[in-house]
Structures are given as structure tokens and as C-alpha cells.
Amino acid sequence: MISRSSANLSDRSKRTLSPVRFLNAILCSLLMVTPLSALAQPNSATELLQKARTAFETGKNEEALSLAQKAIGLEPKNAQTYYTRGRLYESMRQYEKAIVDFDEVLKLNPGAAHIYQLRGVAQFKRGNVKESITDFDKFIESDTSQAPQHWQRGISCYYAERYEDGRKQFELHQTVNNNDVENAVWHFLCVARSIGVEKARASLIHINRDGRVPMMQIYALFAGKATVDDVMAAVKAGEPSPDELKQRLFYAHLYLGLYDEATGNAKLADEHIRKAIGEFGANHYMGDVARVHAKLRGQVKSR
């Protein structure tokens, strides 16, 4: 879901473009705007970034990082070099370093508003939820059409204890994504924190159908019409493949943990979240949400 100046933020299926796809997009865009004379120069910053892409595609992260560093050494005033290295750092979960590089991009190119989105994502993954909202807001200011799409901002508001702002964000997102159980659940969580579980249940956003298993059972649980056993039975139904089962278990444990937190069972919440970040951990934005949740609740040490 990132290119962020143009991406559709409402695609919740896998939360973000893979690092490889995103880095490819960056470097392909560089090739389109770089003069042929620059491309022909050996060891130019552009060539080094091309090599960094190749290294990254083949899993050679440290080599890719080294090549990006060399590109910065050649052209320290070239915002694209910091942009690329920042994305590499983020893919390697070195969020603090990614934030520093995105800072540098904005110094060199203050008009690159989409960097606020990238930096906001890195801030959130670092656990800096208030700072992530500031960056998301700056991104939205640059393109107000993104405001309804921005479910990420709503999640940050929840963890920043800005529950009313979170509620409004998820209600706005409902106008562009009206069959997403996760949107209804995060709205519930914000309302529950501000005025109580029963009122949250009474104002639960209506969802007709979310085809992902076990999302409709999770929805029924939050509505007070299903049990944890119903959710887990749905997870195991239909002989899912190992990968599909792991994905189902991740979402089940994440949302069971959030439900237990909302309803006051901290011990069970802790157990479910630990499973969501442990044996069923996921490499997408909601996987990061689970990790940030655990960090903010003191379940894991800060990185």
C-alpha cells in the first residue's frame, strides 16, 4: 500500500507493497527521469542504485546497503540516494535509521510530500505513534483525497489514545471501504476506550461480507454474537494450506488479543498478542501493528 502519493491506502489485504516491489518502483522511476549520459557513466549514483536493486532482489541486503551508501558518497545532495537507503533500512527493520534518511530527503526536497507518509510508517513501526500521526497529517494536507483512505492514521490514533480522532478516521474510511471487518473492529476499539464496550457494540459499523477467514467470525465476536471457539473453528475449517492456516491464525490471535484488551482481560490479551508476533508472525503492516502493540504494552523490549 505504499507509494503513498498515489497508492490506494484502502487495500487491507496485505497492508503494504513488498520491499522488493517498492524499491523496484523507486529505481525504475529514477531510470525514467535520469539522462542517458548519466546512465552510461560507470560507478555513477544511478548505476550504484541499480546494483543495489539487484542485490536487494537476491537477498543481499548488506551489499545493497553498501551500494546505496556509496551512491550517497558520490552525490550527497541527491535526495533519491537517501530515499533508496531509507527504504532499505525500513525493509531491514532499522526504522530509526530510515527516519534519519527520510529527514534528509525532506531537507533536500521539501516538496516531496509522499516522504511524510513513508516517514510516518517508519515512525509507527518504531513505536513513535504520535510522530506518525504528525507525518500522516502532513501527507494528507498535501493531498486531501487521501484522508478517507488513511486507516493507518486511525490505528496510530488508537495507540496515541486519541480515541475520538480514531473513531472519526475509521468512520471516514468506511465511506471508501465498506466491507472490511478490521475497520469496524478498530472503530469498536476506539469507542470502547472512550465510552465503554456496550456502547461500542451498539455502534458497531455494519459489515455485509468480508471474504477473509475468519474475519466474519471475529466481527460476530465483537458484536457479541460469537465466541472464541467459533473463531478458532472457522480458522481450521476447509483444510487450509499451511501458509493460509498461519495467516488465519495470525489474524485470529491479533483480534482476539485486541478483544480481550478491550473487555478487560489483560492476561489473555497478552497470550494472544504473543502468538500473533511469535509463531504466527506476519510480514506486513498488520504484523507490524501486532509488534508495536506488544512493544507499547511492555510485552517486548524496545529495539
Read off the pLDDT band of 300 (50, 70, 90): low
User: How high does pLDDT run on average in the chain?
Assistant: 89
Residues 60-84 have pLDDT tens digits of 999 999 999 999 999 999 999 999 9
DSSP 144: G
Q: For the chain, what are the domain ranges?
A: 19-144, 148-210, 212-303
In the chain, pLDDT over 70 holds for what percent of residues?
84
Instruction: Write down the pLDDT at residue 209.
Output: 95
For the segment 272-283, the average pLDDT, to the nearest whole number, is: 97
Q: How many other CB atoms are there within 10 angstroms of residue 280's CB atom?
A: 21
Handedness of CA 217, 221, 225, 230 (dihedral sign): positive
Q: Kindly report the pTM of this predicted structure.
A: 0.87
Residues 21-48 have pLDDT tens digits of 444 444 444 433 344 344 435 579 999 9
Instruction: Write down the pLDDT at residue 204.
Output: 98
Q: How far is CA 185 from CA 54, 58, 133, 206, in A?
A: 40, 38, 20, 10
Secondary structure of residue 7 in the 3-state scheme: coil
Instruction: Write down the pLDDT at residue 116.
Output: 98
Instruction: Write down the pLDDT at residue 2.
Output: 26
- Where do the H-state alpha helices sit in the chain? 19-33, 36-40, 45-57, 61-74, 79-91, 95-108, 114-126, 129-142, 151-159, 163-174, 181-195, 197-202, 215-222, 228-236, 242-262, 266-277, 285-296
Q: Which residue has the higher pLDDT, 13 or 253?
A: 253
Q: What are phi and psi for residue 11, nearest 5 degrees?
A: -75, 100
Residues 158-190 have pLDDT tens digits of 999 999 999 999 999 999 999 999 999 999 999
DSSP 145: G
- Where do the H-state alpha helices sit in 127-241? 129-142, 151-159, 163-174, 181-195, 197-202, 215-222, 228-236
Q: Is the pLDDT of residue 7 over 50?
A: no
Read off the pLDDT band of 13 (50, 70, 90): very low
Instruction: Write down the pLDDT at residue 97.
Output: 98
Q: Is the pLDDT of residue 263 over 80?
A: yes
Residues 207-248 have pLDDT tens digits of 999 999 999 999 999 999 999 999 999 999 999 999 999 999
Fold of 19-144: 1.25.40
Q: Which residues of 5-34 are buried (b: 16+ CB within 10 A; e: fewer)?
A: bebebbebeebbbebeebbeebbeebeeeb
Residues 102-154 have pLDDT tens digits of 999 999 999 999 999 999 999 999 999 999 999 999 999 999 999 999 999 99
What gap in Å lies between CA 225 and CA 122, rounded to an integer?
37
C-alpha torsion 225→227→230→236, nearest 10: 140
